[in-house]
Structure 1
Amino acid sequence: MATFTKLEDSPMFRKQVNSLEHLTDELKERCSNLHKGCKRFMGSLDEAYAGDLSFADSLQAFGAGLDDPISVAIGGPVMSKFTTAFRELGTYKELLRSQLEHMLSDRLSQFINVDLNGVKDCRQRLDRAAVAYDQAREKFVSVRKGTRAEVVTELEEDLHNAKSAFERCRFNLVHALANIEAKKKYEFLESISAVMDAHLRYFKQGYELLSQMEPFIHQVLTYAQQSKQMALSDQDKLAKRIQEFRTEEEIANVRMASNVDTSTSGDGIHVVGLQSYKTIEALMQSTANGEVQVIKQGYLFKRPQNIRGEWKRRFFVLDSHGTLYYYGNKGKSQGVSSQQTTE
């Protein structure tokens, strides 16, 4: 063995063995820390895998792949492809975690529990064999003259057996230490490089998947930008329409204020321009027996005949037959009254 140039039991040999045992103890501590880090890394991959699946499930529930109105409006059918991609990326993480466990975690556990702990077991057996060998040697050299031959033979045989057991334990320890020294040169490099290769394949799989989706992704982004511009344009048009409506309403209010006829009844207060009265009457006369048309509509304040009643805001519609409808806040008709005029 290259590690041990001389195998005779000597102080130099024992010093070399003790030095290698000390290095083995230090290596065991390093391996334990690496194994703990590997376990934490595996745990993070488990969490990442669960996170990918959870996000895919959330995206699915949000509307991906569904055909209800909300899902269609938010692009659910398009998102279904993205949901599938997230699930696929999650399986890549699970595969990486499995490879990490097989290529590094399990091998570290095997190296610690079998190889490194094996050195400790060999040392304990060697110590017991050395004590037994010292005792057998002491008994043999303590034999006095005149001791029966069969006793001497038995002690000599015990000494021989103790020495054989000691040498066997000594070489077992040597073999265990040499095995660790040999594995140092390839065991960790092989495991770590295999883990890096697993990462390479993991990112390659993700890159290939996303590369295939790249044209579709850019197509969706382009569509989203165009939809955004159209939505902004529609919002601008709506804002202009609202402004025009408010302007027309303010102009109408100004005109009405210049010529007002106010009438009060139990149904409420109506503020209508005199010119508006004439226009309404003319239209009612022209369509008395014809098609019903909406003459005027809007909000008014109404209260019951009881003077103490509260004023309530109601939406009203006056048609060409002189019928006045008014609605509550929930859009249901709450009253109808006839407003026919007589000549």
Structure 2
Amino acid sequence: MRAKLVKLCIAMIDTGKAFCTANKQFMNGIRDLAQYSCKDTLVETSLTKFSDTLQEMINYHNILFDQIQRSIKTQLQTFVKEDIRKFKDAKKQFEKVSEEKENALVKNAQVQRNKQHEVEEATNILTATRKCFRHIALDYVLQINVLQSKRRAEILKSMLSFMYAHLAFFHQGYDLFSELEPYMKDLGAQLDQLAVDAAKEKRDMELKHSTIQQKDYSSDDTKLEYNVDAANGIVMEGYLFKRASNAFKTWNRRWFSIQNNQLVYQKKFKDNPTVVVEDLRLCTVKHCEDIERRFCFEVVSPTKSCMLQADSEKLRQAWIKAVQTSIATAYREKGDESEKQEKKSSPSTGSLESGNETKEKLLKGESALQRVQCIPGNAACCDCGLADPRWASINLGITLCIECSGIHRSLGVHFSKVRSLTLDSWEPELLKLMCELGNDVINRIYEAKLEKVGVKKPQSGSQRQEKEAYIRAKYVERKFVEKQAASVPLPESGTKVLPPSQEEKRHSGPEKSLLAGERGAASQKVRSSDSGIQPSADDSREHLASTISANSLYEPEGDKQESPVFCDSKQPSPGLQLYQAAFEKNLPHMAEALAHGAEVNWVNVEENKATPLIQAVRGGSLVTCEFLLQNGANVNIRDMKGRGPLHHATVLGHTGQVCLFLKRGANQHATDEDGKDPLSIAVEAANADIVTLLRLARMNEEMRESEGLYGQPGDEIYQDIFRDFSQMASNNPEKLNRFQQSDSQKS
């Protein structure tokens, strides 16, 4: 019976575990239903609470079965396997000794009287056998008594433990459901109210149905809306008639949708979508009034066109507007895939914020300060050496203390454009420009012969007048730049200094003078990743101040009588040096060329009248273009073929440069000698990113003109998209590379 009880207990435990498994699957089904009903707060909350309660009950069941296994199965198996085995062994020995005793008695009775030695042997065997029998019999009786006593205790102990396990199980379940009972009562009351509301809604729907049945449906103009931020990626969907491209020009009704920056259609709901337009950014949409059918419109891409027909005029307008809006916002659709990617830092670039944080939080304040101050020499003011400078000259690429920044402002924006490292926001390409130069690089150029002329550089504690004279001599008159043959001598004492953009426009074609001497030591280039930034209003506050002569302090006597000295003809002119360095992406050499008097808009007549800015585009560097623009380069000067920097950037597929030129006022309506503007070039090249930028800029320009918002930056969507392109061009240029030659844009 005990072995049978153990088998029954094992079967009960196995069945109970199977019950728990099935119950857990049912509970998981309830949780899945709760997640599916996430839009219904009442259903989701109730099902979640019920599934949690059922999970607790499953845990209690598992605890119960574990206790049953310990209390009955384990204890009874121990009793059966150990105690009963000992009893069986004792019984076998007893039966064996009993048989031996019987044999000894029989043998003793059979011995003859006259065989004395056999009688003695039989008697001795019988005596020994009886002694052994008595000993084994006592052990056997002991095992019987122990087994009987232990049997009662073990069975009752196991059953008592079993019943206590059930008691704890039901107590836990009672407590659990006692806590849940108030919620169940409230839910019951809500269900009663829901039943009342459902009955009322049913009556209202029946009334609406009866009203709708009385309406006239001769013209069904269903309102169809589009949503560019739809969670499923489908901007708009609905039925349209599509004209076939075969000879018969048959019309078929298909289910169309705008999704994933594509126009697709399906013949049946379960069919795989057929792509009509692979990239909406490359297409245009227009009304069609020259065919027999009504409500038609055409979607035209560089390779094909698709004629479509809506069911009404309202639906046609809705579809046209949806396609146009999708074109404007297609960049966001594409950019969502890379938002979660974390930017990794390198020894030369450092680390910056990434993803949504970069979009939502512009890099400003201490972040920009730390990025720029980590460049060699930037931890102290470039002109007086004061530690922890908080201002910068963006066209020179140097850091300044507040007093020196005020002096720089007085020079005029054509010499120095001052911006705060903590108060202003910074565009990514501008911050990267700052990290390409630095105080050490600029001082090696503008203070190259400071020791030769015997001038002492002012300290942080020097008088403002001394600093002002030094800064004017350094940047305006360029007294400490290593002198080379210059076409325009530096001004004499008291002479008003013209901006380079005015002074050097007197010369056309190549420079008349040649550079002499050796260049400074190779400048260390420090590259840095950039973050999202906004233009500052500092430039509007800058002004020109009266010229202060510094010749008495910083011009050696010998310099006044020096005449220009021409050197080896192999040395390029400053303009040509700037032109070559722009292509080589060498900002220190470009700064050196400007310091030696190079005209930033110098024209190379031997190469189709290309400018340094056009050469920077060909070189593929975004930062080089920004440096030239900050130093007065004209973004709209074109070469002999009628192509300006925007044309060249479009032809080469340099998306970041296109974005930069559009922000800096490039004229995208200008056409080259073939009559092509940048937009037509981008469409022919199927460069969706550049098409998006050009169309957005054109739409924004038309909107501002129609609304009279001249001088305004444009709406928020336009600014956000251009900000995103700037971020990507500076931080992840490889994502904008559509052609092999665009790899150089990673500079």
Provide TM-score, normalisation by structure 2: 0.29
Query: Cα 1:112–1:338, aligned 2, differ >3 Å: closer, same or farther?
Result: closer
1:84 to 33, 44, 52: 52
- Aligned-partner residue type, residue 325 of structure 1: F
Residue in 2 that maps onto 1:120: 88
Residue in 2 that maps onto 1:203: 170
Q: Which moved more, 1:94-103 or 1:108-117?
A: 108-117
Provide Cα deviations, 1:31-56, integer angstroms capped at 9, x if missing partner: 23322322222122212221232222
Q: Does 2:139 match 1:169?
A: no
CA distance in 2, matches of 1:338, 1:120: 98
Q: Does 2:25 match 1:54?
A: yes
Structure 1 position 85, deviation (Å) = 1.3
- Aligned-partner residue type, residue 173 of structure 2: G
Query: Cα 1:173–1:240, aligned 2, differ >3 Å: closer, same or farther?
Result: same
1:239 to 198, 206, 210: 206
CA distance in 2, matches of 1:311, 1:92: 63
- Aligned-partner residue type, residue 16 of structure 2: L
Residue in 2 that maps onto 1:95: 63
Residue in 2 that maps onto 1:188: 155
Residue in 1 that maps onto 2:282: none
CA distance in 1, matches of 2:312, 2:52: 64
CA distance in 1, matches of 2:97, 2:209: 101
Q: Which structure 2 segments of 5+ residues have no match?
A: 223-240, 244-249, 254-292, 298-306, 314-747
Structure 1 position 244, deviation (Å) = 0.8
CA distance in 2, matches of 1:87, 1:77: 15
Structure 1 position 197, deviation (Å) = 2.0
- Aligned-partner residue type, residue 185 of structure 2: H
What is the count of residue pairs matched by the alignment? Answer: 247
8 Å CA contact retained: 1:126, 1:169? yes
Provide Cα deviations, 1:139-192, integer angstroms capped at 9, x if missing partner: 66648767669x95x876655543333222212221222223324544333322
CA distance in 1, matches of 2:161, 2:139: 31
Provide Cα deviations, 1:252-285, integer angstroms capped at 9, x if missing partner: 88xxxxxxxxxxxxxxxxxx9xxxxxxxxxxxxx
- Aligned-partner residue type, residue 15 of structure 2: S
8 Å CA contact retained: 1:56, 1:86? yes
- Aligned-partner residue type, residue 211 of structure 2: E
The residue correspondences of 1:319-334 to structure 2 (distance < 5 A) are 325=295, 334=308
What is the aligned-residue RMSD (CA, Å)? 4.3
Query: Cα 1:90–1:337, aligned 2, differ >3 Å: closer, same or farther?
Result: closer
1:223 to 181, 185, 190: 190
8 Å CA contact retained: 2:79, 2:154? no
Query: Cα 1:194–1:248, aligned 2, differ >3 Å: closer, same or farther?
Result: same
- Aligned-partner residue type, residue 97 of structure 1: F
- Aligned-partner residue type, residue 92 of structure 1: Y
1:335 to 309, 316, 319: 309
8 Å CA contact retained: 2:221, 2:312? no
Structure 1 position 100, deviation (Å) = 1.2
8 Å CA contact retained: 2:20, 2:62? yes
Query: Cα 1:243–1:324, aligned 2, differ >3 Å: closer, same or farther?
Result: farther
CA distance in 2, matches of 1:131, 1:143: 23
Provide Cα deviations, 1:301-342, integer angstroms capped at 9, x if missing partner: x9x9xxxx9999xxxxxxxxxx95389xxxxx9426999xxx
Structure 1 position 129, deviation (Å) = 1.4
Structure 1 position 240, deviation (Å) = 1.1
- Aligned-partner residue type, residue 236 of structure 1: R
Structure 1 position 232, deviation (Å) = 3.4
8 Å CA contact retained: 1:48, 1:93? no
Structure 1 position 223, deviation (Å) = 2.6
Query: Cα 1:129–1:218, aligned 2, differ >3 Å: closer, same or farther?
Result: same
Query: Cα 1:246–1:93, aligned 2, differ >3 Å: closer, same or farther?
Result: same
8 Å CA contact retained: 1:48, 1:90? no
Residue in 2 that maps onto 1:262: none
Residue in 2 that maps onto 1:45: 16
Q: Which has the higher contact order (CA 8 A, sep 6+)?
A: 1
Structure having the larger proportion of residues in strand: 1
8 Å CA contact retained: 1:96, 1:198? yes
Q: Which structure 1 segments of 5+ residues have no match?
A: 1-29, 254-271, 273-295, 313-322, 328-332
8 Å CA contact retained: 2:76, 2:154? no
Taking every aligned residue pair, what percent have the same amino acid on both sides? 18
- Aligned-partner residue type, residue 335 of structure 1: Q
CA distance in 2, matches of 1:50, 1:82: 17
Provide Cα deviations, 1:94-131, integer angstroms capped at 9, x if missing partner: 11111111212222223333334443332221121123
Query: Cα 1:125–1:204, aligned 2, differ >3 Å: closer, same or farther?
Result: same
Structure having the larger proportion of residues in helix: 1
CA distance in 2, matches of 1:138, 1:125: 20
CA distance in 2, matches of 1:336, 1:36: 75
> Secondary structure of the residue that 1:60 maps to in structure 2?
helix
> Secondary structure of the residue that 1:71 maps to in structure 2?
coil
8 Å CA contact retained: 1:53, 1:90? yes
Q: Which moved more, 1:178-187 or 1:31-40?
A: 178-187
8 Å CA contact retained: 1:38, 1:105? yes
2:215 to 237, 241, 248: 248
8 Å CA contact retained: 1:52, 1:89? no
Provide TM-score, normalisation by structure 1: 0.57
